[in-house]
Amino acid sequence: MTNLFGVWIVITFGFYQLVAGFLDFNETELSFIEAFQYGVSKLNYNPPMVGLTLIPSAGAKGAVCLDGTLPGYHWHPGYGSGANSWLIQLEGGGWCNNIRTCVYRKKTRRGSSKYMEKQIPFTGILSDKAEENPVADFFNWNRVKLRYCDGASFTGDSENKAAQLQFRGQRIWLAAMEDLMSKGMRNAKQALLSGCSAGGLASILHCDEFRNLFPRTSKVKCLSDAGLFLDVVDVSGGRTLRSLYSGVVGLQGVQHNLPRICTNHLDSTSCFFPQNLISHIQTPLFILNAAYDSWQIQSSIAPPLADPHGYWHDCRLNHAKCSASQIRFLQGFRTQMLNAIKGFSMSRENGLFINSCFAHCQTERQDTWFADDSPEIRNKPIAIAVGDWYFDRAGVKAIDCPYPCDKTCHNLVFR
């Protein structure tokens, strides 16, 4: 379906109101967005299906999913000029912030490898086809998708014995990196740590750790896709996302694994927000984000609990149904996002692509990563922008004009 403002992606999403609690709501919704990522591609009708590899050594290290099962990843080996290049993609999928939501989560693929797909398609930045992954560059690299089963962006280290919950995200991260290093990643001449959503936040949190795995002669950079979660006031005047993050940090022992350069002067919850981290990251970092991030609109800015009378209901699901005052509110969110990246953008080594779309996660979907009609800023699609930045072909600080000027967006619409 198309309209005057670009491509609309319609996702049937009719039962979210029946799910009680903030975290159940946002996790369910995000799964719909990610299911679309896995299943739809305009170009790649036959993507490679890549099998799940569990990490056998993780158990002895206590590096386990919420339910105690082994963590895992999907690895498509590199070849030719890409044999010694590695792309690590950290999976996203929300967070759990209390015992109830974590117990629910451990019975899903977000908390247990028992429920993970045994094979997943690699599309977008993970594609193995040069015509779909044009950044010459990534299609023949070793490409890895690390599955997400801890609920704290790979940073927690705690447990709750009574509820039989293991919060071991940091240990999973370390065990996965150790396993991949043993399989050849230690020889990487080039490496990119990437992630989408909660994985995009994780790619920021672990960026400098990733850099330190390799010798200084290796080219190592990081990419955060839809990971710029902002500490903002919601439509009721509260701070929904701050409340959620406070629960995640406190429950899962995240505070022990946050960058000290931040925790030395801010509280731990503030240091889980990327806006307080990105200016301190030493490794070159690229931030890709929609200025009107669909997840943040639905689960942070205007979640149902902050909108009891449903004033934002239609706007939340379809931007075309937003009133003039609601659009003004969302323009204010965009302004806050641009303010949050001001210091970060001053570094020549960092990259930016902030498009004025109602979207979430744009690197793994083929139609948004690289296609005939994929989103562009100044005639440059996301894949080319990321490639130009990574390979130092050009500086990339691309910030779109405000909505509704961009006609190339693939906007998400829920119903």
Q: Is residue 20 part of a domain?
A: no
Cβ-Cβ contacts under 8 Å for 140 (sequence gap 6 or more):
78, 79, 80, 81, 82, 83, 128, 130
Query: Can you name the residues that pair with 165 across neighbouring β-strands?
Result: 160
Residue type, 6: G
What does the block give as tokens for 371?
A: 């296609």
Cβ-Cβ contacts under 8 Å for 374 (sequence gap 6 or more):
367, 368, 381, 382, 383, 408, 410
Q: Is the dihedral of CA 318, 320, 323, 324 positive or negative?
A: positive
Asked whether residue 131 carries a pLDDT value surpassing 80, the answer given is: no
Q: Is residue 173 part of a domain?
A: yes
* Residue-level pLDDT at 205: 98
Percent of the chain whose predicted confidence (pLDDT) is above 70? 88
Q: What residue spans of 115-215 are helical by DSSP H?
A: 169-182, 198-205, 207-211
Q: Is residue 109 part of a domain?
A: yes
- The answer to whether the CB of 381 falls within 8 A of the CB of 388 is no
The residues carrying an active-site annotation are 197, 293, 360
| CATH, residue 362 | 3.40.50
Q: Is residue 292 part of a domain?
A: yes
Q: Is residue 412 part of a domain?
A: no
**End-to-end alpha carbon distance in the chain:** 14
Helix axes 22-39, 240-252, angle to 10 degrees: 90
Sheet of 2-3: strands edge to edge? Answer: 2-3, 6-11, 410-414
Q: Is residue 411 part of a domain?
A: no
Task: Give how many domains the chain has, as a whole number.
Answer: 1
* Residue-level pLDDT at 252: 98
Write the DSSP assignment of 208-224 as a string of letters.
Answer: HHHHTTS-TTSEEEEEE
What's CA 129's distance to the chain center, in Å? 23
Residue 113 domain boundaries: 51-399
What does the buried/exposed string (b/e) look like for 241-272 if buried means 16 or more CB atoms within 10 Å of the residue's CB? bbebbbbbbebbbbbebbbebbbeeeebbbbb
* Residue-level pLDDT at 22: 33
Asked whether residue 274 carries a pLDDT value surpassing 80, the answer given is: yes
Banded model confidence at residue 305, pLDDT cuts 50, 70, 90: very high
CB atoms within 10 A of CB 415: 10
Q: Is residue 313 part of a domain?
A: yes
Banded model confidence at residue 23, pLDDT cuts 50, 70, 90: very low
Asked whether residue 401 carries a pLDDT value surpassing 90, the answer given is: yes
| Tens digit of each residue's pLDDT (9 = 90 or more) over 132-176 | 666 557 999 999 999 999 999 999 999 999 999 999 999 999 999
Using CA atoms, how far apart are residues 188 and 398, in angstroms rounded to an integer? 29
Q: Can the peptide bond before residue 404 be classed as cis, meaning omega within 30 degrees of 0?
A: yes
* Residue-level pLDDT at 82: 95
Q: Is residue 80 part of a domain?
A: yes
Report in angstroms the alpha-carbon separations of 294 from 99, 319, 321, 368, 382.
26, 9, 14, 15, 18
- The answer to whether the CB of 176 falls within 8 A of the CB of 73 is yes
